Amino acid sequence: MDTAQYLDIFIEESREHLQTVSEKLLDLEKNPEEKGIIEEIFRAAHTLKGMSATMGYTDLANLTHKLENVFDGVRYDKIKVNASMIDVLFEALDDMIAMVENVAEGGDGKRDVENVVNDLLAIEKGEALQARAEAVSNPADSADASIDGHKLDEFEITILGESKERGFENYEISVELSETCLLKGARVFMIFEILEKLGEVIKSVPAVSELEEENFEHTFTVLFVSKHDQKEIEAKIKKVSEVKDVSVSVFSIEEYKADIEKKVQEEEQAATAPTPVQQAPEAPKAESKTPAKKEGKSAKSGQNKTIRVNIERLDILMNLFEELLIDRGRLEQISVDLNHGDLQETVERMARVSGDLQNIILTMRMVPIDQVFSRFPRMIRQLARDLNKNVEVQIMGAETELDRTVIDEIGDPLVHLIRNAIDHGIENPEQRLAKGKTEQGTMKLEAYHSGNHVFIDISDDGAGINKHKVLDKAIKNGVVTHEQGLNMTDQQIYQLIMSSGFSTAEIVSDVSGRGVGLDVVKNTIESLGGSISIDSEEDKGSIFSIQLPLTLSIISALLVELKEEKYAIPLSSIIETAIIHKDQIFHAHAKKVIDIRGKVIPLVFLNDIFDVPSTEEEESDYTSVVIVKKGEKIAGLVVDSFIGQQEVVLKSLGDYLSSTFAISGATILGDGQVALIVDTNALVK
Partner 1 sequence: MTTTLQDRKVIVFNLNGEEYAVPVQNVGSIERMMQITRVPKTEHFIKGVINLKGVVTPIVDLRVRFGTDRREYDDSTRIIIVYYREMEIGLVVDGANDVIDIPEDAIEPPPEVINTVHADYIEGVAKMGNRLLVLLDLEKVLDKKENDYLKLEA
- Rounded to a whole number of angstroms, the minimum distance from the CB of residue 564 to partner 1 is 10
State how beta strands 441-450 and 391-396 pair: parallel
- Rounded to a whole number of angstroms, the minimum distance from the CB of residue 591 to partner 1 is 21
Active site residue 46: yes
- Rounded to a whole number of angstroms, the minimum distance from the CB of residue 610 to partner 1 is 4
Which residue among the candidates 23, 68, 210, 234 is catalytic per the annotation? 68
List all residues 6 or more positions away from 507 whose beta carbon is below 8 Å from its beta carbon: 513
Toward partner 1, which CB reaches closer, 190 or 326? 326
List all residues 6 or more positions away from 108 whose beta carbon is below 8 Å from its beta carbon: 57, 102, 209, 213
CA distance 221 to 171: 10
- Rounded to a whole number of angstroms, the minimum distance from the CB of residue 672 to partner 1 is 6
Instruction: Encode 52-82: b = buried (16+ Cβ within 10 Å), e = exposed.
Output: bbbbbbbbbbbbbbbbbbbbbbbbeebbebe
- Rounded to a whole number of angstroms, the minimum distance from the CB of residue 668 to partner 1 is 5
Please tell me whether residue 611 binds partner 1 under the rule CB under 8 A.
yes
Spatial CA neighbour of 485 closest among 505, 504, 469: 469
Please tell me whether residue 488 binds partner 1 under the rule CB under 8 A.
no
Output the CA torsion sign for 638, 643, 646, 650.
negative
- Rounded to a whole number of angstroms, the minimum distance from the CB of residue 197 to partner 1 is 53
CA distance 628 to 575: 5
Q: Binders of partner 1 among 43-102, rule CB under 8 A?
A: none
Contact 514, 503 (CB under 8 A): yes
Q: State which of residues 392, 472, 565, 647 lies at the interface with partner 1 (CB under 8 A).
A: 565
Which residue among the candidates 46, 65, 150, 424 is catalytic per the annotation? 46
- Rounded to a whole number of angstroms, the minimum distance from the CB of residue 590 to partner 1 is 23
Which residue among the candidates 156, 416, 420, 427 is catalytic per the annotation? 420
Toward partner 1, which CB reaches closer, 330 or 473? 330
Q: How far is CA 567 from CA 469, 601, 664, in A?
A: 43, 22, 11
Q: Binders of partner 1 among 648-677, rule CB under 8 A?
A: 651-657, 660-663, 666, 668, 672-676
Helix or strand (DSSP H, E) at 641: strand 641-649
Contact 79, 38 (CB under 8 A): no
Active site residue 68: yes
Please tell me whether residue 612 binds partner 1 under the rule CB under 8 A.
yes
Q: Is 361 helix (H, G, I), strand (E, B) or coil?
A: helix
State how beta strands 219-226 and 633-639 pair: unpaired
Toward partner 1, which CB reaches closer, 272 or 673? 673
Cis ω before 206 (30° cut-off from 0): yes
- Quick note: the x/- pattern for partner 1 over 315-354, rule CB under 8 A, is --------x--x----------------------------
- Quick note: the x/- pattern for partner 1 over 272-311, rule CB under 8 A, is ----------------------------------------
Active site residue 466: no
Q: State which of residues 610, 642, 643, 679 lies at the interface with partner 1 (CB under 8 A).
A: 610
CA distance 224 to 211: 16
Point out the residues that are catalytic: 46, 68, 420
Residues interacting with partner 1, by CB under 8 A? 323, 326, 565, 609-613, 651-657, 660-663, 666, 668, 672-676
